[in-house]
Amino acid sequence: MKTLKDLFLDEVGDMYDAERRIVKALPKLVKAATCEKLKAALQAHLKETEGHVTKLEQVFQSLDQKAKGKTCKTTVALLEEGGDIVTEFKGSPALNAALISAAQKVEHHEIASYGALHEWAKLLGNSNAADLLEEILGEEKAANATLTELALKSSDKEALGECGCHNDDSEKECSDKQPATVRRGIKPAGMNRKRAGALV
Ligand SMILES: [Fe+2]
């Protein structure tokens, strides 16, 4: 009969595999991003993700188990899809929006997984593991929130063609730039909404 502890170990192995795959995949997303703030956010999350691998090894230790990954099919599929998007949207104004969406799909899977793992660790009375998993969960949620903010403030507008700054090599960020349409004197749809000033 399989127990909650078996399920917990199985899922920790799944996430151990997922995090190690993400550590390998994130540098490709960092390289592909043309928005400097997105690059920085992904780079920062790469560092955190390396820490998640270490924390999961500590979770294994708390169970007197050797760290062992089990292929995370969800992450394999999400990263494969993300890789395809990078290729398909290279050079497109929608590239950064596509990268954010791909990264957020990974984050949402991680948030769901760590949310369950954290609860199971508490149910199993493993406070050491519960604390480690809570720390990882907090960082995944924060990374996801940062990506949402970047999408809303810049990348989605860029994808709509309302901000051309990422297409110009001399302008690395849109934070202090007017949207391309505004610079050209064109009033884009929704101009009355919070816009140029709201760009990242
Ligand atoms: Fe993550």
| pLDDT tens string 74-86 | 999 999 999 999 8
Res 191: pLDDT: 34
- DSSP readout, the chain? ---HHHHHHHHHHHHHHHHHHHHHHHHHHHHH--SHHHHHHHHHHHHHHHHHHHHHHHHHHHTT--------HHHHHHHHHHHHHHHHTTT-TTHHHHHHHHHHHHHHHHHHHHHHHHHHHHHTT-HHHHHHHHHHHHHHHHHHHHHHHHIIIIIHHHHTTS--GGG-TT---STT---HHHHTT---TTTTSS-GGG--
Give percent of the chain above pLDDT 70: 80
Question: How many angstroms is it from 193 CA to the middle of ligand 1?
Answer: 32
Ligand 1 midpoint to CA 159 (Å): 24
CA of 78 to the centre of ligand 1 (A): 12
Average pLDDT, integer, range 177-197: 35
Per-residue model confidence (pLDDT) at position 185: 36
pTM across the whole model: 0.81
Mean pLDDT across the chain: 85
- Between the CA of 32 and the centroid of ligand 1 the distance, in Å, is 18
Percentage of the chain modeled with pLDDT above 90 = 75
